[in-house]
Amino acid sequence: MSPPGTFARNVSDDVLDRFYSTPILSGTLAFPGQTHESALATLEVLRDDFKTYHVFVNNIGFHNHASHHVLALYALGASPELIKEAYYGLHVPNLLPSLVSPERITEENFTEHLGDERYYDGYLAFFTEYLQKNSPTGALERFIFSPAYNFTPGLETGGDDLKKHPRMLDRLLAGLLHPFIHVAYGLEFGILGQVAEGLAQTAVHSAAQIEIIPPSYFNKSPTDNISGFLSTFTSTLSLDVDHNHVPPPEKKRPMFAFHRRIRDDPEFKLRDLPNQPGQRYLTVVKQSGGAIHSLVREWTEEWLVGTRSEAEAEIRLKSMVEEVIWGNVIWCSVGGWASRGDSARVTNADFFLAHLVTSAIFLPKLIIKEEALSPSPPPFGRAGALLSFGNRLLLLQTYLAACAGWQISRGNNPLPITDFYAATDEQLQLSGSPRARSQVRAGSARSVSSLGPSSNPWTYIIPSAIQAREEHTPKMMRSLANFAVRWGMCAPGYFGSDNENGNDDDDGRRSLEGIERLDGTLFVRVAGLTLDRLGWVHEGEEFGRWDRDGSPN
């Protein structure tokens, strides 16, 4: 139990009822099984976590994942009993009680204690009070994206002065994206307490990514008007914004040139990196962050050049989100399969790159206009639910840069799409665990028809995800299932071919080899292969462990 003096323990029931109230949203993809009772169980444990525990579980910054696990289980249709068991049985024994903040956090001293975990309770109190009077979107616009809460005018950006800049967007994307994930869960499910926790978590993370989140991102005058933003984005675009322009039908052009350049550029073939994963990432950012940032800027300009209307800008931004999501899945899964090594494991289920997939599920809700404006329950509502175009683009740019940094830090593995597809065809032909599939092939399965080509693999995947005694597996499977619903109908060739818009002489636009194979089956292939590595728990297999060794090469 937390000490009696902490803010969260003494928050009024009226505030808690507002911050953790039904109805909560079903999430971006609702599975059968969500009930009023499972919603109440979810809110019960989330309230307890808010009142009782710290955002870190130890003194080296490992994160409290309890709310992430619980919300993923709720979204997948888990029972109230399983939701409570996951929280009280798996998480609570490892959590740290929240501590009384040494000082109250106010508008005046907000920037003085950033990055100090001792002040988590103080920042939680600050954001809880703020969100009682302001919308979550308003809080993000001000405390995450505004220039004032990122870089202070007149201060140098080097030496001791660098530590004095707030750099809140940097903090949001720190810690393997966990503050972003925490806030985004709150926005997805309409839970104000989760948003407050995520913003407080952001405030107590360190900021160490100036190379990929530089001051130049915050030099422009803020504007909610897309036309105004695009016209000042960069002079190289030479945009002629036309409010009456009707965008042509969306054309799928070859994507993933950015990902090929990350893979192939010698700048990103780093050696002698530290062994500790977090330090590996920070070393990559320090050494190659400037080059990553430059590629992200080129990628952005490539997408937005020639935009002539606000409607067209939104269409292009939606396609940019699509590329980032598919690219993260490719980095994690195709790269993981390619780096499985000689140890007989079916894939390298990289624990760190899994976060690129589990975090990507939130991008549509935060960035795509029509999804951000979808109906929300009180106290969210529709009003003020959309970040400005400039800040949605900024979030996508910096998120992509951070993901690229993690990809490089984990070995920047090959991405043989064609070979990956050939190796995972069985995931489409037979359902269930490798043992069950072998029984079907041998004709000894109890019910060949239930496991054979006519079955739906997801009916086997989701139960094993729910029953996994670990939080990242249900999060991973929920993301992949969401993407399968969005893009499962995509046929091979959806993204064109690797040289449709480029050739050997036009290196900047050439895509990944094998993208003509990409189709909507990517996500079920990845889900099945991941469970082959981690265990089909629902079918009696022991749960394994995520891989943390990185590339064996």
Place of tokens 């209307």: 309
What is the Cα–Cα distance from 479 to 464, expressed in whole angstroms?
Answer: 15
Dump pLDDT digits (tens) for 345-387. Answer: 999 999 999 999 999 999 999 999 988 877 665 555 544 478 9
Amino acid at 279: Q
Q: For residues 257 and 430, which has the higher predicted lDDT (pLDDT)? A: 257
Q: For residues 403 and 60, which has the higher predicted lDDT (pLDDT)? A: 403
pTM: 0.92
- Position 429 scores a pLDDT of 72
Q: Is 403 helix (H, G, I), strand (E, B) or coil?
A: helix
Nearest to 6 by CA among 101, 88, 76: 101
Backbone Cα Rg of the chain: 23
Q: For residues 158 and 103, which has the higher predicted lDDT (pLDDT)? A: 103
Label residue 407 by pLDDT band (50, 70, 90): very high
Place of tokens 């444990």: 45
What is the Cα–Cα distance from 494 to 418, expressed in whole angstroms?
Answer: 15
Query: What does residue 434 show for φ and ψ, rounded to 5 degrees?
Result: -55, -40
The number of C-alpha atoms within 13 Å of 122 and in the hemisphere containing its C-beta is 21
CA torsion angle for 75, 81, 85, 88 (degrees, to 10)?
Answer: 100
Share of the chain above pLDDT 70, in %: 84
- Cα-based angle 202, 218, 370 (whole degrees, multiple of 5): 70
Q: Is 426 helix (H, G, I), strand (E, B) or coil?
A: helix
Query: What does residue 436 show for φ and ψ, rounded to 5 degrees?
Result: -65, -40
What is the Cα–Cα distance from 473 to 467, expressed in whole angstroms?
Answer: 9
Label residue 136 by pLDDT band (50, 70, 90): very high
Reply yes or no on whether the pLDDT at 550 is more than 80.
Answer: no
What is the Cα–Cα distance from 129 to 7, expressed in whole angstroms?
Answer: 11
The encoded tokens of residue 65 equal 């994942």
Lowest mean pLDDT among 19-28, 56-65, 180-189, 225-234: 225-234
Dump pLDDT digits (tens) for 484-513. Answer: 999 999 999 999 876 655 444 455 578 999
Lowest mean pLDDT among 113-117, 390-394, 446-450, 453-457: 446-450
Reply yes or no on whether the pLDDT at 404 is more than 80.
Answer: yes
Q: For residues 244 and 422, which has the higher predicted lDDT (pLDDT)? A: 422
- Position 510 scores a pLDDT of 84
- Position 236 scores a pLDDT of 42
Residues 6+ apart with CB under 8 A from 38: 74, 77, 78, 79, 80, 83
CB atoms within 10 A of CB 499: 16
Q: Is 306 helix (H, G, I), strand (E, B) or coil?
A: coil
- Position 130 scores a pLDDT of 98
Share of the chain above pLDDT 90, in %: 70
Mean pLDDT, all residues of the chain: 88
What is the Cα–Cα distance from 64 to 479, expressed in whole angstroms?
Answer: 20
Reply yes or no on whether the pLDDT at 414 is more than 90.
Answer: yes
- Position 24 scores a pLDDT of 83
Q: Is 235 helix (H, G, I), strand (E, B) or coil?
A: helix
- Position 9 scores a pLDDT of 81
- Position 380 scores a pLDDT of 59
What is the Cα–Cα distance from 20 to 43, expressed in whole angstroms?
Answer: 6
The number of C-alpha atoms within 13 Å of 467 and in the hemisphere containing its C-beta is 15
Lowest mean pLDDT among 20-34, 233-247, 492-506, 539-553: 233-247
Lowest mean pLDDT among 240-254, 376-390, 401-415: 240-254
DSSP class of residue 95 equals P
Dump pLDDT digits (tens) for 294-327. Answer: 999 999 999 999 898 999 999 999 999 999 999 9
Q: Where are the alpha helices (DSSP H) in 410-457?
A: 417-423, 426-429, 434-442, 448-451
- Position 382 scores a pLDDT of 45
Nearest to 20 by CA among 95, 86, 70, 93: 70
- Position 505 scores a pLDDT of 42
Label residue 448 by pLDDT band (50, 70, 90): very low
Dump pLDDT digits (tens) for 61-78. Answer: 899 999 999 999 999 999
Nearest to 299 by CA among 404, 155, 181, 448: 404
Q: For residues 117 and 59, which has the higher predicted lDDT (pLDDT)? A: 117
